[in-house]
Structure formats: structure tokens, C-alpha cells
Amino acid sequence: MYKLLKANFFRLKKEITFWIFLFISIGLGVYTIFSGLDSISLTTSLEKLTFQYLNYIGLFIAIFVSIFVGKEYANGIIRNKIIVGHKRSSIYFANLITSSLFSILCELIFGVIVFVIGVISKVPTTQTILQFVMSILDAILVIVLYCSIFNLVTMLSSEITISTTICIVLFIAFFIISLSIGYTANQPKYNRSGYTDEYGNFHLTNQELNPNYPGDDKIKIAKTIYYIIPQGQAIEIASANSEDINIFPLYSITLILIFNLIGSYFFKKKDLK
């Protein structure tokens, strides 16, 4: 495994998508914090800005993983690794680890840029330290989940064009489904009205039952589907006000295990021509 990871990291430095993804992360971090400072309001918080990248990082991961891993088929690297004695499971998980570590690095670069400049600029915070740490953990797991899904697709497809297309389409599908399901999952039981004071504190003045509330059972089903989709979790983490943030790791870890067990099993059975 160590030799496979070392080879992957060596190849990573020469990969054009590596540098594009890296510079996009830096550029978006700088743009996000300075555009956020220009439109600062009581509804803006440092946490929301810090995790904004999570809303669309899945698209970059889809492109990066499908191209970086896909080139192993195109250049005959996977066959060579097997010929020299590497186990298929080691090859599979080495690619997953490489993709995950780099994708997490890009998210951290974005987050650090936004957080540091935001702290210096005194952007208000809304989360406790524990909630913020939990958000970081959730964000990392969502990224690993994305990498697990796209690594599965790419390792089981010998054509880089096909795997890239499937990965991008999957992200778009995740995005569309999460938006539609999220509307139902986040439907409040009560419509509340009030006002926000100069310190950002909300004061309730009226509360009445929401006529569009679908019912507790439908909400539970919608939330389950919503949280199974990595993009659904990403949206909630980036909102920095989800009440269910503590249960996200359960969904992510379970799905990561399932996708990787399925992917590694079928990769062992795959006929490499």
C-alpha cells in the first residue's frame, strides 16, 4: 500500500487537474471571503462562509477522481501494478485514499483562507466550538463519501470518458434531488414571525401551524433520503444551522463502508483487458 500511495502522490504532482483544483480552491476562498465582507449582514456568519465550498466541491471531485484514476486504465498503469504483484484491493483503496486526502486538502485550504481573513475582519460567528468541530468532521466525511462514490464508478469503468460523464451526471443528479427533497425535509411545522434585534437575536412574536407541513412521517422519510445524498448533507453543513448535524457521521460512515465494499468486491472480479 505504501508504494502505491507513494507512486500516486508522485503522479499527482504532474497531474494538471491537481493544480487546477488546487488553484480553484485558493481563488474561490479569496473570492468568497471578500465578497462576503462586502455584503455582510445579520444573516451572514463566519461558519456559513467557511463551509460554502462544500456546496459545489462535489463537482470538482467528480472531475478530478474520474480523470486522475481513469488515466490508470488509459495508460495501462493498473495492469502494470497487478503484474508486479500488487493486490487489487490495495490498488482500489490507494486510489481512494489519494483522492480523499487531496480533496480534503482543497477544502481545508479554502476553509483556512476564509476563516483566517474572517476572524481578522471580525465576521460574526453563530456556532459553538463543539458545533464548529463537528461541522469540520462532517465536511471531511462528506468529501470521503463523494470520493468513494466516484472512485467506485471510475474503478469499474475502463473508459475515462464514460466514467467522467457518469460522475458529473451523478453530481448533477445529487444536486437536483437534494434541492427538491430538501424543500420538503426542511419544511417547518410552524410559521413563526418576529424581529431580529441589533445583536442578531431573534424575538418571536407570533406562531401558527404551517398549512404546507406534510406530516411527521413524510418529513422523516424526506430527511432520510436528503441525508443519504452527500449533496444534501453538504447543503446543511454549509447552512451552519442544521439541527441534525450530529447524526450526519452515521449516514456518511455507513455509506462509505457500503460503497467501498461493493466497489472493491466488483473490482476484484473485473476482467482487465
Domain ranges of the chain: 2-269
| pLDDT greater than 80 at residue 42 | no
Residue 115 in this model has a pLDDT that exceeds 80 = yes
From 14-18, 82-86, 142-146, 236-240, the region with the lowest mean pLDDT: 82-86
pTM score, whole prediction: 0.89
Summarize the confidence of residues 94-105 as an average pLDDT. 95
Amino acid at 61: I
- The band of 32, judged by pLDDT with boundaries at 50, 70 and 90, is confident
Mean pLDDT, the chain, rounded, equals: 86
Average pLDDT on 106-110 reads 95
